[in-house]
Each structure stands twice: as C-alpha cells, then as structure tokens.
Amino acid sequence: MSLEVKHVFYTYQEGSPTESHALQDICLNVDEGEFLGIVGHTGSGKSTLIQHLNGLLKPTKGDVLVDGLNINRKEAKGKLKELRMKVGIVFQYPEYQLFEETVEQDISFGPRNLGLSDTEVKQRVKESMELLKLDYKTLRKQSPFDLSGGQKRKVAIAGVLAMKPKYLVLDEPTAGLDPRGREEFLEQIAMLHRQGMTIVMVSHSMDDIARYAQQMIVMDHSRIKLQGTPQEVFSQPDVLDAAGVGVPSLTRLLLRLKEQGLDVRTDLIRMDEIKDEILRALAARGGNPSC
C-alpha cells in the first residue's frame, strides 16, 4: 500500500500566454508508515505536488495511484470521497479556513460530511483533540477565533485528523509558529507517525526534515533534484546549494570542521551521533578536547 506518483506533469493555465509548468516528470513513492519530507525553494512546485496526492489537482500528464487506485482513471470515479478520506491534506496556514461558531462544530465538519452518526462524530472530535493536546472540555464550546494562533492551527488540523486519514499531508505546518509552538507541534506529528500514520511534510526547515523524515525529496524548478534518505541528500551540499535550499545547521557545522582540518564524517544528522563523532575526531587528533 502506497502513494505513487508516476511521471507527473502539471501545467497551470495550459495553452494561455501565462501558462506555468509547475511539475515536470515527477516520480515518487510514499510507502505506508513512512515519513517523507519535501523541501525546495519557493515556487519549486511543492504545494502543486501535494495537491495531486488526493486528487485536488489532476496531472496534465502522468498518473497518481493511491493504494493502487489510479485517481485519474474512470475506475476512480465515485471513489473520490473515499480517496479524500484516505489522504488528509493540511494546507499552509490552515487556521484561515476555520469558519464554524465553535471548535467542536469546526472539527465535526469533515466527519459529519462522511455521513457518520452523531455519536461517532463526537467520539472522533474528542479523539483528534486529545491527539493534539487540545482540551476537549474547556475548548469545545469556544469560538475558534478566540484561540491563540497555535491553537487555531491545531483545531484546523484536528478537523483533518477527525477524518482518520491513512496518509497525512502537511504543507509547511510550522510556518509562522514560534520556536516552542513549532517544537511541540513537530513532536505531535512524530507521535502520529510512531502510531503508524504515514506522513508527508513540506517544510522550508532542513533542520526539521533532518530530525524527522526517513525519506526526502528536494524540488528545484518543477523537478525532483535529489531523492533519498536525509543522510544521502545532505551529503551533497553543492547540489543543495544550487537548488537554493542549503543544508541543516548541524551538517554545516560538520562541513566547517572538516574544512578546518578536523577529520570528521559529514554524513551524520542526529545530534547525539554528531557529538560523539566530533569528540572522537578531536581525541584522534590528540590533545585534550576539553581544553
């Protein structure tokens, strides 16, 4: 079971003088249970790509398969609702899409549309609020507009989680959050992943991707420039530079130390491994590393 993108092209306003080739020959596989990170400069095609994952946009050319179902073929007709349930997309700044009078009503909107019973809807609202550490009792009757920015965003995301998607796709979910809100939020996403949810996360933060993603792609001018584990991708700083995305700060530190003559590996991404590696390299060089 997986999301498969096969040789997908997408052109906005095809045929008009302002047409824009937003995706060109994109191939991608997201296996069930995986955490995929997507990075790339502004305008590289990230948001366009993820909107293909649940059929919001249809490829100009190529195919998108969700658990084997080709979403552009006739066979998918009538199954679009099922598909949208399977693949939940959280858009950038989702809090701007809140519109109901209370938090509970807002989160209920999706599951209610699925035709679930009142009891089931209520249960799902409760569960998804708990998952995001939103207190059901105190918040459910409040207006979403009275909440803080971070909480509003969580309410919007709870609305997507309440549909119980198998694949959760997030477009720059931490943009505009303060460092604490960001950290807390990413931990919650990581927890959903540990519980078995497949995550696709677009982020402009290489540090976040380095910490959480198992696989990643780097987009550059409508194409996939690099693809692999974060370790594989970050070992090519020149390509990343050319794609306008840079490397995570810890990788930068290792590269800098190497430039200065310290014999360290530069393909590590975890803080604890990096610390051990630097201490090892210093010890190997001789002298007392703590002086």
Secondary structure letter of residue 96 according to DSSP: G
Query: Which CB atom, from 47 or from 205, has the smaller least distance to Mg ion?
Result: 47
Interacting residues with Mg ion (CB under 5 A): 46-47
> What is the residue type of 196?
G
Strands 167-171 and 198-202: parallel
Binding residue (CB under 6 A) for ligand ADP from 14, 32, 43, 242: 43
Binding residue (CB under 6 A) for ligand ADP from 26, 39, 40, 201: 40
Query: Which CB atom, from 46 or from 225, has the smaller least distance to Mg ion?
Result: 46
> At its nearest, how many Å lie between ligand ADP and the CB of residue 46?
3
Q: Does 109 bind ligand ADP (CB under 6 A)?
A: no
Dig out the tokens for 19 from the structure.
């047409």
Cβ of 291: how many Cβ atoms within 10 Å? 4
Which range binds ligand ADP by CB under 6 A, 46-54, 70-78, 180-188, 273-281? 46-54
CA–CA separation, 162 and 3 (whole Å): 21
CA–CA separation, 171 and 53 (whole Å): 12
Binding residue (CB under 6 A) for ligand ADP from 11, 24, 44, 251: 44
Query: Which CB atom, from 46 or from 124, has the smaller least distance to ligand ADP?
Result: 46
> At its nearest, how many Å lie between Mg ion and the CB of residue 252?
24
Q: Does 42 bind ligand ADP (CB under 6 A)?
A: yes
- Residues 54, 127 contacting (CB under 8 angstroms): no
Query: Which CB atom, from 43 or from 246, has the smaller least distance to ligand ADP?
Result: 43
Of 8-37, binders to ligand ADP (CB under 6 A) are: 12-13, 20, 22
Q: Does 52 bind ligand ADP (CB under 6 A)?
A: no
What's the distance, CA 35 to chain centroid? Answer: 8
Q: Does 149 bind ligand ADP (CB under 6 A)?
A: no
DSSP alpha helix (H) spans, the chain: 46-50, 80-86, 103-113, 118-131, 136-139, 149-161, 179-194, 206-212, 230-234, 237-242, 249-259, 271-285
Question: Would residue 79 be called left, alpha or beta, if left means φ above 0 and alpha means ψ between -120 and 50 degrees?
Answer: alpha
22 touches, from ligand ADP, Mg ion, none (C-beta below 5 to 8 Å by class) = ligand ADP
Q: Does 46 bind ligand ADP (CB under 6 A)?
A: yes
Which range binds ligand ADP by CB under 6 A, 28-36, 44-52, 105-113, 192-200? 44-52
CA–CA separation, 216 and 38 (whole Å): 6
Of 84, 146, 77, 72, which is closest to residue 114 (Cα–Cα)?
84
Residues in touch with ligand ADP (CB under 6 A) = 12-13, 20, 22, 40, 42-48
